[in-house]
Amino acid sequence: MGGKPRKYVNKTQKTKASVASYIAAIEPERMRNDSETLLALMKDVTGQPPAMWGSSIVGFGSYHYLTKSGCEADWPRVGFSSRKTALTVYIMPGFSEFQGLLAQLGPHKHSVSCLYLRRLDNVNLDILREILVRSLAIMDTRYP
């Protein structure tokens, strides 16, 4: 077996695609409006311009990480994507430190680092803002 280990290349890379075009093409209108709200919120929280990562992730900032298996990749510090059934918000440090805030957020689901929101009109945006702020602070500590 031996041989040289293969270098991992993350399939989702930062692109020069237009964030405005991506947002404008989102259907239905409610998801587009919710995406515009997330875009404005994340611009405000991060103070950074958005960029497309792959064809469907709007990301802010980036960090370089190394996996336990030795693979390296870049990923946005925070971001979102409009999917068919929900908005996916990327909270890279995960949710172990946010249980109290999640209880106040409103209807949602989450996995390791993805927060799934079906619609923003029943989500507490102040709580979402706080999750984003704290997430970025954790990322700044882990990946200065």
On whether residue 5 sits in a domain, the answer given is no
User: Would you state the pLDDT for residue 1?
Assistant: 45
* Model confidence at 30: pLDDT above 80: yes
On whether residue 7 sits in a domain, the answer given is no
Digit-coded pLDDT (tens) for 56-108: 999 999 998 887 777 788 999 999 999 999 999 999 999 999 999 999 999 99
Digit-coded pLDDT (tens) for 117-143: 999 999 999 999 999 999 999 999 999
On whether residue 2 sits in a domain, the answer given is no
Cα–Cα distance measured from residue 95 to residue 131, given in angstroms and rounded to the nearest whole number? 9
**Domain count along the chain:** 1
Instruction: Specify the DSSP class assigned to residue 61.
Output: S
pLDDT mean over 27-46: 97
| Sheet architecture: strand order including 78-82 | 50-53, 57-60, 78-82, 87-91, 114-117, 109-110
User: Would you state the pLDDT for residue 2?
Assistant: 46
User: Would you state the pLDDT for residue 8?
Assistant: 56
**At 109, which CATH number?**
3.90.1150.200
On whether residue 14 sits in a domain, the answer given is no
Domain that residue 95 falls in: 19-142
On whether residue 25 sits in a domain, the answer given is yes
